[in-house]
Structure 1
Amino acid sequence: MDSIKKTDNFVFQTYARQGKAFVKGEGTSLWDEDGKKYIDFLAGIAVCSLGHCHPKITQAINRQASTLIHVSNLFYTMPQADLASKLCEKSFADRVFFANSGAEANEAAIKLARRYFQKKGDKNRFKIITMEQSFHGRTMATLSATGQDKIKEGFYPLLEGFSYVPFNDIDALRNEIDESVCAIMLEPVQGEGGIIPADPDYLKAVRELCNDKGILLIFDEIQCGMGRCGTFFAHELYKVTPDIMTLAKALGNGLPIGAMLATEDAAIGFDFGSHATTFGGTPLATAAALEVVNIISRETFLEQVRQKGQYFKDKLVKLKEKHSRVVGIRGKGLLLGLEIGVGKDKNATFFVGELMEKGFIINGIQDKILRFAPPLIIEEKEIDRLISALDSLL
């Protein structure tokens, strides 16, 4: 309890913490100060996708920490070079910019999109269209890009140059485009917005629209990427590629790292001195991320994610058939959401708290969505235990 008291006394009160202090993690499990064990179905908000303290990632961190931790981006390092080449090999991209977080990766994408047209001499193209209910970060630029008013409260005036349209509505998007638009930015699967996947044909239509209008397409895969949806990148489900993509969260399996990937053409927006970061792509962070990429790339790994994701979703659908309280199941792979009917006496917060008491960690979003983003190594028997506990609560 000492850690809870000290945190409450000395740390900014910006988080509604759930009253537990964790001291150990291994695989899909966490232990609190009292020694109670929990099965983690949140993975640090889709971060520890390979589980807590994965032995190979821990070895990579220890090995690199004893060799070289930081020298700045004024010099070359092999872990950064290896990770960049691997990410380009696995994706549509030709270039990578490393940052420290998802917000920083999105900040880089926003700056790149604007400067791309500035470099081409078109200074009137600066506006970026994003989606309603989107979430792109907490910096001023990424907050301005986010399509949720409640997150922006108290921070006005925001940065100019952003507009918002309903997700999955191609006509609304088409009508919003004018000569000032430089990019469209969206999440293939909205996370904080309620676990909402893009419709099957929507991303293809967006890509065609961008091609037709000569504007850039940015995919924010910070939460839905890195194997979370059953493919290495979520947009692979739709057979559509962007011009720019952002990654973070699961990329380091707990070590802070973000990445902004781009095609060679889009990358011309950045040149020497145009963008930088002190800690982006340190040897330590990139060594850990390289091991993450190698593990996810192993044969059958993503196939198992798809199988477990379908198993989990089928179980949730059966709960919906049994309990009228459940009004919707959605998501891709192992990023799933269960929607609770509005106007009921118990919202998502109630279920989050009750499941924690039963030894399961999830979280609630939009007051009515239970979000499940477990480590990708979760086992079916652990899914069964959660379903049983949720069934009893419903």
Structure 2
Amino acid sequence: MSTTPQPVPPAPAPGTGPSWTERYAAAVMNTFGTPQRVLVRGRGAHVWDAEGRQYTDLLAGIAVNCLGHAHPAVVSAVTQQLSTLGHVSNFFTTTAQVELAEALIRLVHPGLDASDSRVFLASSGAEANEAALKIARRHGGGARPRVLALENAFHGRTMGALALTHKAAYREPFEPLPGGVEFVPADLGALQAAMGEDVCALIVEPIQGEAGVRPLPEGLLTAARRLTREAGALLIVDEVQTGMGRCGTWMAHHLLAPGTTPDVVTLAKGLGGGLPIGAVVATGPAAQLLGPGQHGTTFGGNPVCAAAALAVIRTLRDEHLPERAAALGRRWSGQIAALPGVRGVRGAGLLLGVVLEEGAGPAAEVQAELMDRGFIVNAPCPDTLRLAPPLVLSDADADSFTRVLGEVLASRASRQEQA
């Protein structure tokens, strides 16, 4: 067999041959459907497509680009690190990896003794939740086979994370999944009834983003900490979408349950500001459950991603962006909620779910009309639009969206009256 390298076929010249969308369909697995646009450039809270049209990005890569696009701090950190040291295996460490782990412990558990916590760095939120599930299994052993998760939960699409995810349409094509997971309503009575000494862990999202931005009921997270402690189970808090200042505090559980210390917290999305990174922060006995050879990842703790995360943390802190998210979120959600056609707004900070009145939806149609008007949002469920913009979003951009959303909803209402 010949070992001579074969030339790569040239790509079609711009403006000739198939479109980018057609080429996508011919080359990329159909796991995401047809792309809504082909994006080529971004700056701050704005992106441009291949046709030159500009959009205000109110989704930020699904709560990822917390500093917007091409932020100078991230660009500089990545450039400097990549020009120095791009990747090492986990037989070694780097200064960026160590500094990031130390910073994350301080962010997740402010004021606590840092010596009681340890960090595992991964490449995504699903990976972080896989690691958390393995920590739970190590804690439970054979005596505690049950894991509790909440109805409407979303924790990822890898097999372990998928086992923790409630939506049947995501789960059923891949069953049998890792066993022992039970789903309970986000209700104190149901949680009390399900908890027992055979439970190894409970995993919760402070705000369920994929379910339409649904915060846990008031007091439930505090009660969950009490119940898990009494039963000897771990409390795992999934902050993948809600962490890193998005909800107006560094972690959403700081807002919903002040003073609560979970055993395990998972992070990703906004942590890298656009670079792929996830993290598990474990505290107390949970921090010591995974030993050498029991878990690993090739790219976790990659120095380039770690440098990006450090730049994100510094910028969020120096520019007071969690506080900015809290203030803008309060004002913006109130203005949106006052629009005709809007039933209410859920969430906190700059993770908001705009719940549409029955006559205004379906939300996917409203999303498409907003895209045509230059605003990127998404519809995680039939009656709700999700807003998760960069935390650097300007007041002017927020106000412009409110105006355009009002116009879109008014136009839809008028068309329905005429039909």
Q: TM-score, normalised by structure 1?
A: 0.95
Residue 5, structure 1, aligned to residue 22, structure 2: yes
Secondary structure of the 1:265 match is helix
| 2:299 paired residue among 279, 282, 297 | 279
Residues 305 and 376, structure 1, Cα contact 8 Å, conserved in 2: yes
Residue 386, structure 1, aligned to residue 398, structure 2: no
AA aligned opposite 1:203: L
Residue 218, structure 1, aligned to residue 231, structure 2: no
How many Å apart are 1:345 and its aligned residue? 7.4
How many Å apart are 1:202 and its aligned residue? 1.2
Deviations 1:337-383, CA, capped at 9 Å, x for gaps: 111234x4741111111001100000001122100000001011111
How many Å apart are 1:328 and its aligned residue? 2.5
Residues 311 and 380, structure 1, Cα contact 8 Å, conserved in 2: no
Residues 84 and 96, structure 1, Cα contact 8 Å, conserved in 2: yes
Deviations 1:188-226, CA, capped at 9 Å, x for gaps: 011001101122211111111112111110000000111
Residues 232 and 296, structure 1, Cα contact 8 Å, conserved in 2: no
Report the counterpart of residue 263 of structure 1 in structure 2: 283
Deviations 1:15-55, CA, capped at 9 Å, x for gaps: 13443101000000000011111000000000001100101
Report the counterpart of residue 88 of structure 2 in structure 1: 71
How many Å apart are 1:264 and its aligned residue? 3.3
Residue 326, structure 1, aligned to residue 342, structure 2: yes
Rg larger in 1 or in 2?
Answer: 2
How many Å apart are 1:292 and its aligned residue? 0.7
Residue 128, structure 1, aligned to residue 147, structure 2: yes
Residue 154, structure 1, aligned to residue 173, structure 2: yes
AA aligned opposite 1:85: E
Report the counterpart of residue 105 of structure 1 in structure 2: 128
| 1:166 paired residue among 185, 203, 209 | 185
**Superposed counterparts of 1:1-394, under 5 Å:** 2-92=19-109, 94-118=117-141, 123-167=142-186, 169-237=187-255, 238-239=257-258, 240-298=260-318, 300-319=320-339, 323=340, 325-342=341-358, 344=359, 346-394=361-409
Secondary structure of the 2:147 match is strand
AA aligned opposite 1:72: S
Secondary structure of the 1:154 match is helix
Gaps of 5+ in 2: 1-17, 410-419
Question: What is the rounded CA distance, in whole Å, between the counterparts of 1:345 and 1:62 in structure 2?
Answer: 46
CA RMSD of aligned residues (A): 1.3
AA aligned opposite 1:249: K
Residues 203 and 235, structure 2, Cα contact 8 Å, conserved in 1: yes
Secondary structure of the 1:38 match is strand
Residues 116 and 267, structure 1, Cα contact 8 Å, conserved in 2: no
Deviations 1:84-109, CA, capped at 9 Å, x for gaps: 01111222261100111000000000
Residues 116 and 270, structure 1, Cα contact 8 Å, conserved in 2: no
Residues 101 and 248, structure 1, Cα contact 8 Å, conserved in 2: yes
Report the counterpart of residue 417 of structure 2 in structure 1: none
Deviations 1:302-361, CA, capped at 9 Å, x for gaps: 221111111111111211xxx2x322311000000111234x474111111100110000
Which piece of structure 1 moves more, 175-184 or 39-48? 175-184
Question: What is the rounded CA distance, in whole Å, between the counterparts of 1:26 and 1:74 in structure 2?
Answer: 37
Question: What is the rounded CA distance, in whole Å, between the counterparts of 2:361 and 2:252 in structure 1?
Answer: 33
Report the counterpart of residue 7 of structure 2 in structure 1: none
Question: What is the rounded CA distance, in whole Å, between the counterparts of 1:179 and 1:108 in structure 2?
Answer: 22
Deviations 1:255-296, CA, capped at 9 Å, x for gaps: 100001100311121111111111111111101111111111
How many Å apart are 1:149 and its aligned residue? 1.2
Question: What is the rounded CA distance, in whole Å, between the counterparts of 2:101 and 2:191 in structure 1?
Answer: 33
Question: What is the rounded CA distance, in whole Å, between the counterparts of 2:382 and 2:237 in structure 1?
Answer: 26
Which piece of structure 1 moves more, 357-366 or 195-204? 195-204
Q: TM-score, normalised by structure 2?
A: 0.89
Residues 361 and 383, structure 2, Cα contact 8 Å, conserved in 1: no
Residues 366 and 408, structure 2, Cα contact 8 Å, conserved in 1: yes
Question: What is the rounded CA distance, in whole Å, between the counterparts of 1:128 and 1:243 in structure 2?
Answer: 14
AA aligned opposite 2:173: G
Residue identity (%)? 44
Secondary structure of the 1:297 match is helix
